[in-house]
């Protein structure tokens, strides 16, 4: 037991220390800190030093990290600000799903894969991991720009649409597609998002004076709401991070920008988010690329993943100027843990094998690393839309 405890402490020390060291180095090199933190995961992971390996503990810390990250982003996003870009965000999300899925399907067919295997890989291309983009935008102080609002709104809608695509593909893999269940899931997910934004946020705003008089700190109330809505989101099939984001958004107007809660959440985020980023690096398995065809497929998937989000989401953002189009297109590129989860489901169902899983894993990590360096120059200089 003592040896296990010592090993766990070594893992936590290695992950956190490596993340912060890499973040410092990359910041000094004027590169996004998130890239350094992800690469730190590769360095301390099983592919290099072997000081940390993917486990239930690292997964739990990663989940907590991304939930607090998205909760903090939600705190900076009042519902009216998000609703103002709703139509544009819906267009970005819809095209950001259709274009990657169609292109991914065609690419897999060119590589000689079957219909259902092609569908699973295409579903992984649909995903968007907005946690990485949100982290970069927060570092740059650009969360309040119009394009950032569109990216966040599109990510919420994208998650609902991606859920439906994944549900459909999983049903088809099991032998039958239940359209009624699919429609019910869609209605439930959309109702959940609408209820939190349109009913929950105003209710919390009215209750704020009463909550302030409680002996329980605001931070404790916020954490209860965070975990409650994350659980509710997971229960209906939407990613838990969407529930966390909505919890923050519901509290955005109730607490105000200068409220102590914001500082407390930033402290929790600073503690937990590095584990989320390092965990992405831990999962990158380089051994599967010993086969030339797997490497070629991984590179092709990555190229298609980047171009289809740029084209699809960029078309949805048409009319915002070339800089705005590129900001939104690049902001929606990272697949991160969302793409990995889709691949894991396909692997668990026996639809895809280790080679395809490795190719998708490479794509998810590569798109996560590619986006931050491209976002920084797009938000530096020129007007902030």
pLDDT tens column, 94-107:
898 899 999 999 99
| Residues 6+ positions from 381 with CB-CB distance below 8 Å | none
Alpha-carbon gap, residue 119 to 108, rounded angstroms: 8
Identify the pLDDT of residue 85: 76
Alpha-carbon gap, residue 219 to 227, rounded angstroms: 12
Helix ranges restricted to H, the chain: 2-28, 33-44, 56-75, 79-83, 86-110, 115-126, 130-140, 146-174, 179-195, 201-212, 218-236, 240-255, 260-282, 292-316, 321-331, 336-348, 354-379
Give the pTM.
0.73
Alpha-carbon gap, residue 280 to 95, rounded angstroms: 27
Identify the pLDDT of residue 21: 95
The answer to whether residue 131 scores a pLDDT higher than 90 is no
Arithmetic mean of pLDDT over the chain? 82
Identify the pLDDT of residue 141: 82
Domain ranges of the chain: 2-379
Query: What would the pLDDT profile of 204-249 be if each residue is shown by its tens digit?
Result: 888 888 887 888 888 898 999 999 999 998 888 777 877 888 888 8
Mean pLDDT across the stretch 53-57? Answer: 87
The answer to whether residue 383 scores a pLDDT higher than 60 is no
Nearest to 291 by CA among 352, 359, 348: 359
Q: Which residue has the higher pLDDT, 85 or 331?
A: 331
Identify the pLDDT of residue 289: 67
* CA distances from residue 285 to 45, 107, 280 in whole angstroms, order as listed: 10, 22, 11
Nearest to 279 by CA among 340, 221, 232: 340
Query: What would the pLDDT profile of 280-310 be if each residue is shown by its tens digit?
Result: 788 776 776 677 888 888 899 999 999 999 9
Q: Kindly report the number of other CB atoms within 10 A of residue 323's CB atom.
A: 16
Mean pLDDT across the stretch 16-42? Answer: 87
The answer to whether residue 384 scores a pLDDT higher than 70 is no
* CA distances from residue 315 to 33, 40, 67, 91 in whole angstroms, order as listed: 29, 35, 30, 8
Q: Kindly report the number of other CB atoms within 10 A of residue 98's CB atom.
A: 15
Identify the pLDDT of residue 1: 54
**Do the beta carbons of residue 376 and residue 327 sit within 8 Å?**
no
The answer to whether residue 60 scores a pLDDT higher than 60 is yes
Q: Which residue has the higher pLDDT, 329 or 4?
A: 329
Identify the pLDDT of residue 15: 94
Structure token pair of residue 250: 């519901």
Alpha-carbon gap, residue 287 to 280, rounded angstroms: 16
- Residue 16's pLDDT band, with cuts at 50, 70 and 90, is very high
The answer to whether residue 66 scores a pLDDT higher than 70 is yes
Tell me the torsion sign for CA atoms 68, 69, 70, 73.
positive
CATH of domain 2-379: 1.20.1530.20
Identify the pLDDT of residue 276: 86
Mean pLDDT across the stretch 152-164? Answer: 77
Residue 382: DSSP 8-state = S
Query: What would the pLDDT profile of 321-369 be if each residue is shown by its tens digit?
Result: 888 899 999 988 888 766 777 776 777 677 777 778 878 888 887 888 8
Mean pLDDT across the stretch 159-170? Answer: 73
């Amino acid at each position: 037991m003592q040896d296990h405890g010592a090993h766990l402490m070594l893992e936590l020390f290695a992950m956190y220390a490596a993340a912060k060291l890499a973040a410092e180095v990359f910041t000094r090199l004027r590169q996004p800190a998130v890239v350094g933190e992800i690469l730190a995961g590769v360095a301390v992971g099983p592919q290099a030093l072997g000081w940390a390996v993917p486990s239930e503990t690292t997964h739990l810390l990663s989940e907590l990290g991304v939930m607090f990250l998205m909760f903090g982003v939600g705190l900076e996003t009042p519902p009216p600000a998000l609703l103002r870009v709703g139509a544009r965000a819906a267009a970005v999300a819809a095209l950001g799903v259709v274009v990657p899925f169609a292109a991914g399907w065609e690419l897999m067919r060119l590589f000689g894969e079957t219909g259902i295997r092609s569908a699973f890989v295409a579903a992984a291309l649909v995903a968007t991991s907005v946690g990485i983009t949100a982290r970069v935008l927060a570092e740059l102080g650009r969360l309040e720009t119009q394009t950032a609002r569109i990216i966040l709104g599109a990510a919420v809608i994208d998650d609902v649409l991606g859920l439906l695509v994944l549900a459909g593909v999983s049903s088809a893999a099991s032998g039958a597609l239940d359209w009624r269940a699919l429609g019910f899931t869609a209605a439930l997910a959309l109702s959940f998002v609408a209820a939190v934004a349109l009913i929950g946020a105003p209710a919390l705003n009215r209750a704020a004076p009463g909550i302030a008089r409680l002996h329980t700190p605001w931070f404790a109330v916020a954490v209860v709401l965070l975990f409650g809505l994350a659980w509710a989101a997971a229960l209906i099939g939407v990613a838990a991070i969407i529930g966390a984001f909505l919890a923050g958004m519901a509290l955005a107007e109730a607490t105000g920008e200068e409220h102590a809660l914001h500082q407390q959440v930033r402290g929790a985020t600073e503690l937990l988010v590095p584990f989320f980023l390092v965990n992405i690096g831990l999962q990158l398995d380089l051994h599967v690329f010993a086969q030339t065809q797997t490497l070629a497929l991984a590179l092709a998937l990555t190229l298609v993943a980047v171009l289809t989000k740029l084209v699809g989401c960029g078309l949805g953002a048409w009319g915002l100027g070339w800089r705005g189009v590129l900001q939104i297109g690049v902001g929606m590129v990272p697949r991160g843990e969302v793409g990995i989860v889709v691949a894991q489901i396909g692997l668990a169902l026996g639809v895809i094998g280790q080679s395809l899983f490795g190719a998708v894993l490479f794509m998810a990590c590569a798109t996560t690393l590619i986006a931050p360096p491209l976002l920084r120059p797009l938000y530096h200089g020129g007007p902030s839309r």
